[in-house]
Structure 1
Amino acid sequence: MLSFRTQHTLARRSGRFSWVDLVVASAVLVLLYTALRVGQGTTVSFTPDRTTLVDTDPSQLPYDAARSLLRMFVALAAAVVFTFGYAYAAARSRRLERVLIPALDILQSVPVLGFLTIAVTGFIALFPGSMFGLECAAVFAIFTSQAWNMTFGFYQSLTSLPRELDELSRSFGFTRWMRFWKVELPAGAIGLVWNGMMSFGGGWFFLVASEMISVGSQEYALPGVGSYAGAAIADGDLGKVGWAILTMAVMVIGVNFLFWRPLTAWTERFKNEQSGAGEVQRSLVLDFLRRSNWPRLIGRWLRPVGLACSRAGRVFGVDDRPLVVDRARRRTGDLVFAVVAGGLILWGLVSLGRYLDAGTGLGVFGEPLLLGLATLARVLVLIVAATVIWVPVGVWIGFSPKLTRIAQPVIQVLASFPANFLFPLAVWFFLRTGLSIDIGGILLMALGAQWYILFNTIAGAMAIPADLREAMDDLGVRGWQRWKRLIIPGVFPSYVTGGITASGGAWNASIVSEVVTFGATTLTATGLGAYIAHATADADFPRLLAGVAVMSLYVVALNRLVWRRLHRLAETRYSL
């Protein structure tokens, strides 16, 4: 008698559908139906002058969780599309790189509240009379907390692609689309998934700020776990805060099990190694999907789309750009590009200066520049501490698939935990111990920044080929020599990406970490984050613009002086 596995294999080969296919199809239909039902709430009528109230009945939490999840995944899809386009343009165009990468430094330094202030007004005007405008503003805010980290990570993988693969793709006559799909995307798949996981956690971290929007005297609230928790914190209701924490934990663990765990196990196929690893990551969901006929059928249905993309790529020609170009022509092009880009930047700075000079005067920059030094000190302490603690832990986790399976959901919960949810505990702890929030704020900032270093280190360690590790074992290389010869060079490019995004994330997290409120108690630290938070609450746009501009200046200067030099070192010396 044939075993179940043999019967199932024969069924797949014969093209017959089994109960596994029925379960998968039913799950997809239920998911689509739920998304459509939940999405109906995004198009109800809405007027900007209407006061929105948050229903904090615990029975409302399942619906709130579904609304939050829908926003998170829509923002993630937009972030992936943005990552592919932006990172590819920056990595493949030397001239665009000179503008796009500094611009990315600035974008990641702009606080979520800074984006929200502009986005709310714009989207409400774009969709008058509908809640959809406010939903778009919330999705955009979550997008801004996800996209920059993913873009930096994919850009790093594109720029550190081995030269041999570049020459091989040229010799095979690959189009640009084929080169991207067959070479570049697989090379960056592991880092992209882990950075996507971290970015998703960043979206959770700013969920309260994205769903409870306060601009001046006007407050907007959307149904969601973040707004539920924000309302419970404002009321000082610890019981309802506990329900929000429990719901958040269930959501994070569920998303990890159903979405991120299958993706991380699937990307094992993209490891760059000659010998297979002794132990690989596994996922029950991925194993179940592989037993279904649907992936094979969908791949067959989408094959014409891939062929159309390949043919469209040939319109632009084979990727046969010369490795050596005429220097005079390059200098001329660089000069024209520099004049145009410099003119646009100068025009923007002059416009900003005129606006501020007409409002409060250029002296408005003095206070945020001084306050930025206090926040800078906290950021530096956080980065050094996170490096010392989390790089060894990340390497340990990345080298062990079994440990990765255990640690991944735990890390996801910790990384996804909004700092606002801990405000009741933080206020109690600071008041009980007498610890100043000027120091304790570093701990709250760490909740939103340290995980970038850990996740990128894990991705870097996982990408180190197993055959290199086996060679080190055969040669008896242990201890510091192993770290010096293998581990540090192997994880260094990923660590730099994590450091860049952790630095920007720490500045962004200062907005919610330097002003801590629970009930009637508010603790305020001295720093640029508190300055921007107060300017946003007061709808003081000149001070808000000055604070955001100063924060961007600090982030760009830190990236130019430290992180970009390390990134260049990773490209030239430490790429596998």
Structure 2
Amino acid sequence: MAIPKIASNIFPSWANGFFFLAASEIISLGNVKYELKGIGSRIVRLIANNDYMGLYIALTFSALLSVLLTELIFRPLLIWSEKYKLETIAKPMPVTEVWLGRLSLRRVRRIGRRIALKVPSFDLRRRVKVVYYPKLVKGFSSAFKVLVPVSLISFLMLLIIASKDFRDALMLLTELNYLKYTALALIYSTLRILATSLLTMCWIIPLAFYLYFRPKLERLTLLIFQVLASIPAPLFYPVILKVFKGSLIELGVILMLMLASQWYLFYNIYDGLKRFPYELEEVLNLYRVKGLYKLKVALVPAIMPSLFTGLVTFIGGCWNALVIAEELRPGVGVNIGIGKELISYTNAGYLPGLYATLLIMVLFIMGLNKGLWRPLRDYIMNRFSYEA
């Protein structure tokens, strides 16, 4: 079932959204600046004005909101999704306390029953008959595969006809010097993402296993992670600029990429461990398979599909974070990178360069998906999946 995976990915999605609040609420293009009202833009203004008291209050409210959402929505949803796991042996439900569980819902249910009896259209107690039409689904799938490429090509043709900037971008793609520089920028950014992935896995995987063997720490850990994730990116700029100077700026970029995307990797790996079949766990306990040997023959192979999913989403988050990591402030950042190139064109208001670089970046990522991730996914699912 997909519900447990969806529930486990709500945490990192919320964290990633909070991290990019400032970049989303304040958008600059050349001399034009768009600013939306929100906690992200508010924090940026407080930092610019050196209003540390206001900043402390804003962060306190952000952390409080994250804690409330975790306890009242995210964590109950995660516990509820446990019943949708397909297992041959019933797994004992975790003994956990949820704030919603302390509330008496009898009155709410009684009101719901009265509404259902008075208004037939609201009677949710009736079973809904689900009919599955394989041919219809297959037809929609085939039509979707045709319509998406046709729509994209039509949209690009419309841009070429209507937009002079887009036509100039296509002309820019024919310049050899631009292509060489952009290719080199892509290589540098890819190496940074690769280094970030390796360093993140070095501590995320052991942490996931540590919490798996100590489930009582789950609640506290999730709360801490959500509070840390509620810290927007601009707050890290002064620390990184002070600690990582000169040639050490590369480490600062890697740290920013890690802070932006590490939650995807952790929650997917931890969810993979929690979905380990209870019957296999019973067999391992019966034969007294423990320690490193248990990790080698059972748990590590079991998390490979989840590790792959987490790694793909982690790297996707890193591509997004490049635009804020490779140039922390105007004139302060790495010498070359695809994120820095995009920011440079954005600050200059040069739309042809922005369009051309975005097009190259998208084509490069699509090539990675087709040439690397898809074959690797098929291999991992066939080699390590225990659900077949």
Q: Distance in 2 between matches of 1:466 and 1:307?
A: 33
Aligned to 1:461: 273
Are 2:192 and 2:254, in contact at CA under 8 Å, matched by a contact in 1? Answer: yes
Using the size of structure 2 for normalisation, the TM-score is 0.83
Aligned: 1:524 with 2:336: no
Q: Distance in 2 between matches of 1:321 and 1:304?
A: 32
Name which of 95, 106, 112 aligns with 1:292: 106
Aligned to 2:364: 554
Aligned to 2:14: 200
- The unaligned stretches of length 5 or more in structure 1 are 1-186
Q: Deviations over 1:245-284 (max 9, x none)?
A: 3332222222212221221222232233344445605233
Q: 1:307 to 1:291 in 2, by over 3 A?
A: closer
Q: Deviations over 1:61-119 (max 9, x none)?
A: xxxxxxxxxxxxxxxxxxxxxxxxxxxxxxxxxxxxxxxxxxxxxxxxxxxxxxxxxxx
Residue 384 of structure 1 and its aligned partner are, at CA, apart by: 1.7
Q: Distance in 1 between matches of 2:348 and 2:289?
A: 60
C-alpha RMSD over aligned residues: 3.2
Aligned to 1:443: 255
* Structure 1 residues 38-437: aligned runs within 5 Å: 187-277=1-91, 280=94, 282-289=96-103, 291-295=105-109, 298=112, 301=116, 304=123, 310=128, 313-314=130-131, 318-319=132-133, 345-346=152-153, 356-358=166-168, 361-362=172-173, 363=175, 364-431=178-245, 434-437=246-249
Using the size of structure 1 for normalisation, the TM-score is 0.58
Structure 2 letter corresponding to 1:457: I
Aligned to 1:472: 284
Residue 365 of structure 1 and its aligned partner are, at CA, apart by: 4.3
Q: 1:252 to 1:344 in 2, by over 3 A?
A: closer
Structure 2 letter corresponding to 1:552: V
Q: Deviations over 1:407-460 (max 9, x none)?
A: 1111222334322221121122124xx553233201111111122110101111
DSSP-derived class of the 1:272 partner: coil
Q: Distance in 1 between matches of 2:272 and 2:309?
A: 10
Are 1:449 and 1:503, in contact at CA under 8 Å, matched by a contact in 2? Answer: yes
Aligned: 1:506 with 2:318: yes
Q: 1:197 to 1:380 in 2, by over 3 A?
A: same
Residue 319 of structure 1 and its aligned partner are, at CA, apart by: 4.1
Q: Distance in 1 between matches of 2:275 and 2:370?
A: 27
Q: Distance in 1 between matches of 2:213 and 2:328?
A: 38
Q: Distance in 1 between matches of 2:18 and 2:326?
A: 19
Aligned: 1:571 with 2:381: yes
Residue 568 of structure 1 and its aligned partner are, at CA, apart by: 1.4
Structure 2 letter corresponding to 1:476: R
Structure 1 letter corresponding to 2:300: I
DSSP-derived class of the 1:477 partner: coil
Q: 1:259 to 1:536 in 2, by over 3 A?
A: same
Name which of 305, 319, 337 aligns with 1:493: 305
- The unaligned stretches of length 5 or more in structure 2 are none
DSSP-derived class of the 2:289 partner: coil
DSSP-derived class of the 1:417 partner: coil
Structure 1 letter corresponding to 2:234: N
DSSP-derived class of the 1:436 partner: helix
Q: Deviations over 1:463-485 (max 9, x none)?
A: 11223212112112234432233
Q: 1:337 to 1:420 in 2, by over 3 A?
A: closer
